[in-house]
Structure 1
Amino acid sequence: MVKACGGLPLAVIVLGGTLATKQNLKEWESVNNNVRAYLGRGKSIMEEGNLHKILALSYNDLPYKLKPCFLYLSRYEEDYDIDTEELDKLWMAEGLISTKDRIGEESMMDVAERCLGELVTRCMVQGKAPADDVMLSYIGRSFASCRLHDLMRDLCLLKAKEENFLLPVSCHDDGILDEHVDISSLASNDHTQVYRLVIRFSEKSVRKFVPLVEKRNTRYLRSVVLMASGVQLKEGRVDKIMKSQINQFKMLRVLAVEGFDHLRLPKAIGKLIHLRYLSLRGSVFLRLPSSLGNLRYLQTLDFRDCPRCRIPDVLWKMRQLRYLYLPDAYGTHKLGKLKLNLFCKKLRLKGLDKLEILENFCPLSCSSQDISTLKNLRVLSAVVDMDFDEHFPTGIHRLMSNSDHARSTSLSIVSRRDSAATAALTKENLSDVVGQCFSRRNLQVLEVKGPMANFPKYDAQYMYASLVDMTLTEIEIEEDPMKTLERLPNLRSLLLAYGSFLGKEMRCKATGFGQLRFFRLFGLTNLVKWIVDEGAMPNLSVLTINCCPKLEIVPNGLRFIKTLKELIVVSMPERFTNRIQAVNGADQGQDFDKVSHIPSIIVNGCRIFDP
């Protein structure tokens, strides 16, 4: 079989992936016979079309349930890193996986990851482990993203077309350019049933494409994806598609309208009663109709990256909702002067008993008390702005108490109060609240922005091991925070940014930061000396030092961190960078021996050492 692959790595890998699923010699012999039959006796894989036959064999060998999961990947562009969490939800919405596929106590996300894992095992899909995403790694997800090899994607597109599974269309200013689709095919084959349609627009192509979509037979569509990047719709072109066709979308389960400006959703969207997945991500809406509340079977609702988005108070009607992503604007620190003017009546969430993920929750726009009723909530991401919450300490305590049942919580706390009358009180409040956060057993991610009176002292009686990822920005403390931070046993990622530490000396003691993988120092303008003891940060993988102008030398303790894979130095003075690299082709700098064991050293974007 290896000989039949002709030494082509992709053929060997894919065939090996197929064999890896076989349990005995008889099954291997069956694959061998299939390879010979597919290629034809005596023919070489190097002959035209034979590599495709080997890849097709891997597809035909897939279990029945996995074939549509594989074909669904044809909706993504070439070399695109596919978000596996998004893919999981789409598979669920389309019914490609169901509750019947669960084994034991598996969640639907577990089922989806198991299916993706089998495609990766068969080498038909390239999976990327969540090495750089500490949260995904911490909660045990096997893959952060996945992608298709170019030739495997060609097979996926071909099979999707043969089986009339999905129609991808790329629209450019000069027409529709896609190796598998042309304008005439869209305009003529009116009787061809199209089940899934993915359209990527440019601004001028919207005008050309509208008449073609209106001629199609769209009543069998199960999935419609309309994508753009900042397309201005002053003439309402996509609005026209939506308005004219939405009554025909009676079977629709997935609708994504992403990246458009000045968009109006018609009231008729409430008639899409079979809809399971609705993404309006990255679009600017002139209005959202209250008829959204009629989507009683909706599982995923995505408003991320939707600025100035006012949501009607109808979400509580969506009893099947599992994944809710509110607009980033609901995190008030991103709104500037617009802030409270955008908030309508608080959104009610009580009754969403199946909700598992809730992102961009803000107590100003939703009731914290409703969180306690969401008994199946697994992941909560919340943003609290002290500037707009008069009862901030009480509110944050209520939010954290009500979310005790969530498995994973992410919290961003923001404050920018500058007035003398409120500054002192705000600093004290923020210090107290951060101390409370350290005591929460389910808080994994904490982001704090704003001045604090002092940093919490470590106390083993109430500080638990839950924090995994922490970002501290502009907290303006003078006492070394390492004394507390280095004792958090599960901390894997730490960022100190923009004046978080105003002192001159910082020290990481031996045995401190036992699980830390990623450490970033950014904008610590007063830092002069950083001491790293031998034994500190024994699992550190990536260290970034950015814009710390007074830092004199690289810590000697770095030489003892054998796990360090990458050192990134940005916007540092020459006296610092010269110590870790050769100057004008001369011998290495004075501190090069401290970092010579690191496989990758990057200074201002240039890789200076990569053995």
Structure 2
Amino acid sequence: MDGEFIIVCVTVPLLLHKLQNLLYYESKVPVGEAIDQLERIRTRLRDIERINLDIRYQFWVGFLKELQDLEDVIDNLIGEIELQRRNDSLKIMSPLICLRPLHGRIGLISKKLKKIITTSAKLFMELENLGPTTDKELALLEIKSCFCHLIRLQSLTEEESWTLFCKKAPIAEETTRFKENILTSCGGSPRTILIMEGLLSTTKRPSVIEHIIDRDILKLCYQDLSSQMKVCFLYFRLFPRAFEIPIRRLFHLWIAEGLFITLPDEENMASEDLAEDCLKLLIRRNLIEVTKVRLDGSPKTCRMPTTIWDVFSRTAVILGHFHFHKDIYRYDNRDLYDIRRLTNYAANGIDPQFYDHIQYLRSYVSFNTESSGKFLDALVTPGGFGLLVVLDLENVYKPAMLSETVGKLLHLKHLGLRRTFLDSLPRSVGNLPYLQTLDVKHTNMTTLPSSIWKAKKLQHLYLNENNFDMSFKRTYTGSEIILQTLSGLFIGNKNVVKSYLYSLRHLRKLKLTFYSKSVEGIASWISELKALRSLKLRSIDEFDRPATLELDSLITHHELLELHLVGSLTRSIESLCAPNLRVLTLSASKLGEDPMPILGKLRYLNCLRLFRNSYLGEDMTCRAGEFPQLRVLKLWMLEHLEKWTVMEGTMPLLKELEIRLCPKLKLREKLPLTLKDVVLINMPDGFVECVERVLVNSFVKKITWRFTALPVRLIALLLLLFFGISQLT
């Protein structure tokens, strides 16, 4: 078995038969286990079917071979749970703990484990092939039987193993000849089976199959990676165990580290494209798991499975790729000068006695708020400048950022300050000649220092609805600017477009909020940005209400994949339909004619969201053959919509439907039977009953908010305050 199990928190009870929906739709377990062990788990839960669970939060604990690691993981586990309990949302929760302890060693960790097991918690122990002594070992924990239940999970049979192996991809004839060797090597472990299948499906060395019988499958899969991909794979060890890493963050770190250099035959590919190809291969080989997806189905966050993390953790350290806060205490002083990457997620920070040994540090990722200012000061020697390339403090609350110190980090390429809630940014940031990525989203900053526009290497700028500082000198923008990402900029001055934005010609991602009356030329500027892949625009008036949104045609924007528009459209929706759109969101568009006949012709559209006042008509029709790739459809607060006709043959791939606060809506035809997940929020009972009759094999979730009697406009305002503008628009 895989040696991977879940620690979650228990809140509002749910019936046990909803376990399947939790596994599939909450994406809290690896796909392989969710599919192939679901029935096995359900069978073994028959004795405890009175237990009702609502999985909201999880920790991951892996299989440990060394005794000393047992104490370390329990210490880390206690720290993680205590950290999460600081959040108000988790204070009422109790941990559900699943473990697979080593034979004969469970008593050694009982004292520490009891710190996090209370009478309100449930302890599930997953034990494999431990014989009759397991019950005795279980008794060593001294946990009352009413709070402890034993679940035994068996390995897959050979037939089950081969079925799982063949599910992922067609099997070549040569692979079939080695069926017996493959099954022997995998030993009934779903994780190993998936890794084996990923290796044989993607390897460029056909002879690799000859080595499967006498080699460790996981290590063989690693050795088959290219040198570049090995470094990218081991980079996941920089993050805590089971940490869900945003793809955005991972790519920027990879690129800042210089892991992707465009070769002559790849001159048409950006570094982000190379990073994406690398991640796709790691995911295909089942070495990395996708934990959350975006609207278009692409990965949003990912993680290294804990079983794999445990195996390669030591490999990354031995190869000198990383050092960790707790490890530096074990090194001889001479070895500390070789530290290139350091990650710190200890609660008490790094001991100042080691500050003299980090002068050659290139990357620093921190997950705590202690001593960040002193640590940065230590990076800058009296006689020179820090060599730091990556400084990632994402989620660290208000770290000390002294302008004098930051300005001396002249090699810095990546500065990650997202969710730090800093009030201001040091002006010296503009003096960093190699800065490529600056992320200040979800901070308290309202403006940026004008000096930031001197950073000529800047490629990715993530803001927090920041105002544009018009005090900058014209000389700052004298040369071509290579900015590719500009997200979260607020424009309140019409001179901004002509003075600065026209110099941005290479943007791939753009997110703007602006006053409709103060912006001139923005439509013509956007029409020239042919490399755009993601465009999000919000036009507002002085009271922050959606206003008129003027745009030129986007039909020639062949690279545009994602379009979000908030504001009343002055042009036909047809002129805004870029041919390769994957995701389209409209809000306050005030369309008078049914947009579905036009939108249905978008061949690659897989997510469509029509939010409040995007359509003011009463009828909406989806005809046969339209929306061939649509998978997600959301209709929110369409007050006037009464008739929705869904003809047979339309939306053949639709999986998810969400309808919210459409009080007059009636269904005229059947819904696509491919639907798996339907969410109806504050919808009339008659409509809900109709949907449930039509979709007998789908999961239909009805949600009713208490303030249903309030006017729709007031409900919209409350939603805006609760979810924030970004969620509704």
The structure 2 residue matched to 1:151, chosen from 287, 307, 324, is 307
User: Is the counterpart of residue 223 in structure 1 residue 350 in structure 2?
Assistant: no
Counterpart in the other structure of 1:114: 277
The structural deviation recorded for 1:74 is 0.6
User: Is the counterpart of residue 506 in structure 1 residue 620 in structure 2?
Assistant: yes
Q: Aligned AA for 1:406? A: A
The structure 2 residue matched to 1:328, chosen from 464, 473, 485, is 464
- Taking the TM superposition and a 5 Å limit, the aligned residue runs for 1:176-325 are 181=326, 185=330, 191-192=335-336, 193-200=338-345, 205=347, 208-209=348-349, 211-212=351-352, 215=355, 217-228=357-368, 237-247=371-381, 250-259=386-395, 260-261=397-398, 263-322=400-459, 324-325=460-461
- Which string of whole-angstrom CA distances, capped at 9 and with x for unpartnered residues, describes residues 293-321 of structure 1? 23212222222222324322233433333
2:411 counterpart SS class = coil
- Taking the TM superposition and a 5 Å limit, the aligned residue runs for 1:58-73 are 58-73=221-236
2:678 counterpart SS class = strand
The structural deviation recorded for 1:512 is 4.2
Going from structure 1 to structure 2, the CA distance change for 1:495 and 1:502 (only over 3 Å counts) comes to: same
2:450 counterpart SS class = coil
Counterpart-to-counterpart distance in 2, 1:486 and 1:100 = 40
Query: Does structure 1 conserve the Cα–Cα contact (< 8 Å) formed by 2:585 and 2:609?
Result: yes
Query: Does structure 2 conserve the Cα–Cα contact (< 8 Å) formed by 1:214 and 1:241?
Result: no
Counterpart-to-counterpart distance in 1, 2:656 and 2:562 = 19
The structure 2 residue matched to 1:579, chosen from 690, 695, 702, is 690
Query: Does structure 1 conserve the Cα–Cα contact (< 8 Å) formed by 2:410 and 2:434?
Result: yes
More off after superposition, 527-536 vs 11-20: 11-20
2:375 counterpart SS class = helix
Going from structure 1 to structure 2, the CA distance change for 1:498 and 1:274 (only over 3 Å counts) comes to: same
Counterpart in the other structure of 1:496: 610
- Which string of whole-angstrom CA distances, capped at 9 and with x for unpartnered residues, describes residues 443-500 of structure 1? 54443434x4x7744667x865355433233445565444554455554432222344
The structural deviation recorded for 1:161 is 2.3
Counterpart in the other structure of 1:547: 661
Q: Aligned AA for 2:635? A: L
- Which string of whole-angstrom CA distances, capped at 9 and with x for unpartnered residues, describes residues 177-212 of structure 1? xxxx379548x86753432112236xxx3xx43544
The structure 2 residue matched to 1:527, chosen from 641, 644, 647, is 641
Counterpart in the other structure of 1:49: none
Counterpart in the other structure of 1:8: 189
Instruction: State the TM-score, normalized to the length of structure 1.
Output: 0.72
Q: Aligned AA for 1:441? A: H
Going from structure 1 to structure 2, the CA distance change for 1:31 and 1:575 (only over 3 Å counts) comes to: closer
The structure 2 residue matched to 1:360, chosen from 488, 495, 507, is 488
- Taking the TM superposition and a 5 Å limit, the aligned residue runs for 1:58-137 are 58-100=221-263, 103=266, 105-126=268-289, 132-134=294-296
- Which string of whole-angstrom CA distances, capped at 9 and with x for unpartnered residues, describes residues 239-293 of structure 1? 2332344448722111112232374333222222222211111223343233222
Counterpart in the other structure of 1:400: 526
- Taking the TM superposition and a 5 Å limit, the aligned residue runs for 1:374-393 are 374-375=504-505, 377-386=506-515, 390-392=517-519
2:227 counterpart SS class = coil
Counterpart-to-counterpart distance in 1, 2:392 and 2:378 = 17
1:298 counterpart SS class = coil
2:633 counterpart SS class = strand
Q: Aligned AA for 1:133? A: L
Q: Aligned AA for 1:239? A: G
Counterpart-to-counterpart distance in 1, 2:603 and 2:532 = 18
Counterpart in the other structure of 1:164: 320
Going from structure 1 to structure 2, the CA distance change for 1:446 and 1:407 (only over 3 Å counts) comes to: closer
Going from structure 1 to structure 2, the CA distance change for 1:483 and 1:346 (only over 3 Å counts) comes to: farther
Counterpart-to-counterpart distance in 1, 2:253 and 2:282 = 16
Query: Does structure 2 conserve the Cα–Cα contact (< 8 Å) formed by 1:214 and 1:245?
Result: no
Counterpart-to-counterpart distance in 1, 2:640 and 2:681 = 17
Going from structure 1 to structure 2, the CA distance change for 1:212 and 1:604 (only over 3 Å counts) comes to: farther
Going from structure 1 to structure 2, the CA distance change for 1:528 and 1:113 (only over 3 Å counts) comes to: closer
The structural deviation recorded for 1:13 is 3.4
Going from structure 1 to structure 2, the CA distance change for 1:215 and 1:81 (only over 3 Å counts) comes to: closer
Counterpart-to-counterpart distance in 2, 1:21 and 1:577 = 46
The structural deviation recorded for 1:75 is 1.7
> Structure 1: 5+ residue runs without aligned partners?
36-52, 138-142, 170-180, 331-339, 582-591, 606-611
Counterpart in the other structure of 1:564: 675
The structural deviation recorded for 1:73 is 0.6
Counterpart-to-counterpart distance in 2, 1:213 and 1:256 = 22
Instruction: State the TM-score, normalized to the length of structure 2.
Output: 0.62
Going from structure 1 to structure 2, the CA distance change for 1:24 and 1:488 (only over 3 Å counts) comes to: closer
Query: Does structure 1 conserve the Cα–Cα contact (< 8 Å) formed by 2:563 and 2:585?
Result: yes
Query: Does structure 1 conserve the Cα–Cα contact (< 8 Å) formed by 2:607 and 2:630?
Result: yes
Counterpart in the other structure of 1:41: none
2:521 counterpart SS class = helix
> Structure 2: 5+ residue runs without aligned partners?
1-180, 705-729
- Taking the TM superposition and a 5 Å limit, the aligned residue runs for 1:385-534 are 385-386=514-515, 390-392=517-519, 394-401=520-527, 403-416=528-541, 429-430=548-549, 433=550, 436-437=552-553, 441=557, 444-450=561-567, 452=568, 456-457=571-572, 465=579, 467-476=581-590, 480-482=594-596, 484-486=598-600, 490-534=604-648
More off after superposition, 212-221 vs 146-155: 212-221
Going from structure 1 to structure 2, the CA distance change for 1:459 and 1:405 (only over 3 Å counts) comes to: closer
The structural deviation recorded for 1:151 is 0.8
Going from structure 1 to structure 2, the CA distance change for 1:564 and 1:226 (only over 3 Å counts) comes to: same
The structural deviation recorded for 1:521 is 1.1
